[in-house]
Amino acid sequence: MKQPQQKLPHLKILQESADWLVVDKPVGLSVHNEKVNVLTLLTQIKRNPNLSFHAVHRLDAETSGVLLVAKDAEIAAKLSEDMQKDSRKLYQAVLRGEMKEDEVSWDWKLSDKAEGRKNPQGLLKDRKNCETLVRVIEKTKYFTLAECEILTGRQHQIRKHSALAKHAIVGDKRYNDPKYNERIASIYGAERMFLHASELRMRIGGRETVFTAPPPAEFKALMRGK
């Protein structure tokens, strides 16, 4: 019996050059770990045997938004080096509860590993300096929509810092309370993790380049209680 064909996720290409492309990665799609991922989808879309896609930076499967992908390993290494030297990454997140400050810097030391809800910082010996700038866009009694800028690049940095600030990201299954996530999902039908990579700014070939992707409509819908 013929198996039904799997429906592949839609992958929107925001911008493209001869050497790289930028996609608006949908939530739930892995960059490279799963059988169906960003890189395998691009291979199917482009159908060019001369291209070998490589992600230039990390983006969790649970996070949507801007992702820069190189068209070969050498270009990926160069772009990664450029990104380390001079780049700006902005995210939007819906956080649990109402933040009192309109702007704050979170600077808890963190490991560069995936951790858990009980100890987001990781082992003391693994912790390194890091900083996240947080600017409130909108807030209600129950949620805060914030723009987060990472000044360092630790794994799960925004997710860990928001949990340590007692404002964990809504829908974060690793660092937020599972009972809270279940309650929010049952009330609002909101089952994703509300973290979105909204802007990447960096120099490519000596030229300032900005890539943007607005957060999905469900972010505003949750803030409106819909």
Residue whose tokens read 């990454």: 89
Helix (H) or strand (E) run with residue 42 in it: helix 38-46
Contact 29, 9 (CB under 8 A): yes
Q: Cβ contacts of residue 207 below 8 Å, gap of 6+?
A: none
Closest alpha carbon to 22 in 92, 105, 112, 83: 83
The number of CA neighbours under 13 Å toward the Cβ of 216 is: 17
The amino acid at 76? A
Residue 190 phi, psi dihedral angles, 5° rounding:
-100, 105
Q: Cβ contacts of residue 179 below 8 Å, gap of 6+?
A: none
Residue 46 phi, psi dihedral angles, 5° rounding:
-85, -30
Catalytic entry in 24, 60, 86, 102: 60
- Is 172 one of the annotated active-site residues of the chain? no
Catalytic positions, please? 60
